[in-house]
Amino acid sequence: MIVLTLDQRGSRRGEDLVPALLDLVDRHATLRAFQRTAGDEVQAVFEDAGAAVGAALDAAGTGQWNVGLGVGAVRLPLPAETRAGAGPAFEAARDAVERSKRTQARLALSAATQQEAREPDTTLGRAERLEAELALIALSLRRRSTEQWEACRLRERGWGQARIAQALGVSQQAVSARLNAAWFEECQALTRAAIGALAHLADNVQNPGSNA
């Protein structure tokens, strides 16, 4: 399982951003939905690595959240409410979100039960590499301008540049420039790789006795 814990940055000095966050990540499928756990912290449980990465990067891209991804087993049966869940994945997510507060990207990942993993010598290294990849993506997303985000969101839907240009009322050359400046293709490729790596990592730490 994959547990995602998000803690609002500077929540004591600003408005409650949880409602806006829930709208932002609503498009990602969860096993247990995002739920406020304490103060301005929310948590969700995922089976799908793509959904977990998507939600984590959506939050990290705003620069308003500390993002912690925890990978590992959970105590079964999983309760109906996310905040009632327990197990190594929840503990790993707590470790990750605390570490994220000391990073520039404000994003961290921890894998639980590494000593019991099917590949104990490589699990930690894979987790560290994946954390670095996700951090680079998050930092890239945070540097995008509003205009770049508009073009990227439409491109993510599969729209071609001509259609995006018409929708935004700009030239096709302007759309191309915005996508290039946002490193759209590079971020998409790295995100796909990160999703695959997270899926493999989750399988390794949850099923240590299975065959590769």
Separation CA 190–CA 169 (nearest Å): 30
* pLDDT number for residue 48: 98
DSSP label at residue 102 = T
In DSSP terms, 36 is beta-bridged to 42
- What is the average per-residue pLDDT within 88-99? 96
φ/ψ region of 158 (left if φ > 0, alpha if ψ in -120 to 50, else beta) reads left
* pLDDT at residue 7 is higher than 70: yes
If you average pLDDT over each of 38-42, 92-96, 114-118, 125-129, which comes out highest? Answer: 92-96
- Please identify which residue in the block is written with the tokens 């399982």: 1
What percent of the chain has pLDDT above 90?
83
Q: Are 1 and 47 in contact (CB under 8 A)?
A: yes
Largest CA distance in the chain: 56
Residue 125 has pLDDT above 90, yes or no: no
- Identify the residue with better confidence: 207 or 49: 49
pLDDT confidence tier of residue 118, bands split at 50, 70 and 90? low
pLDDT beyond 70 at 119:
no
**pLDDT score of 115 more than 90:** no
Looking at residues 78-90, what average pLDDT do you find?
94
| Gap between the Cα atoms of 191 and 28, Å rounded | 15
pLDDT of 36 > 80? The answer is yes
Q: Which residues contact 73 (CB under 8 A, 6 or more apart)?
A: 1, 87, 88, 89, 112, 113, 205, 206
131-186 per-position pLDDT tens digit: 999 999 999 999 999 999 999 999 999 999 999 999 999 999 999 999 999 999 99
Average pLDDT, the chain: 91
The pLDDT-based confidence of 205 (bands split at 50, 70, 90) is: confident
Q: Where are the domains of the chain?
A: 2-144+182-206
DSSP string across 142-208: HT--HHHHHHHHHHHTT--HHHHHHHHTS-HHHHHHHHHHTTHHHHHHHHHHHHHHHHHHHHHHH-T
Q: What is the DSSP pairing of strand 2-8 with strand 32-38? A: unpaired
Q: Look at residue 117 and tell me whether its pLDDT is greater than 70.
A: no
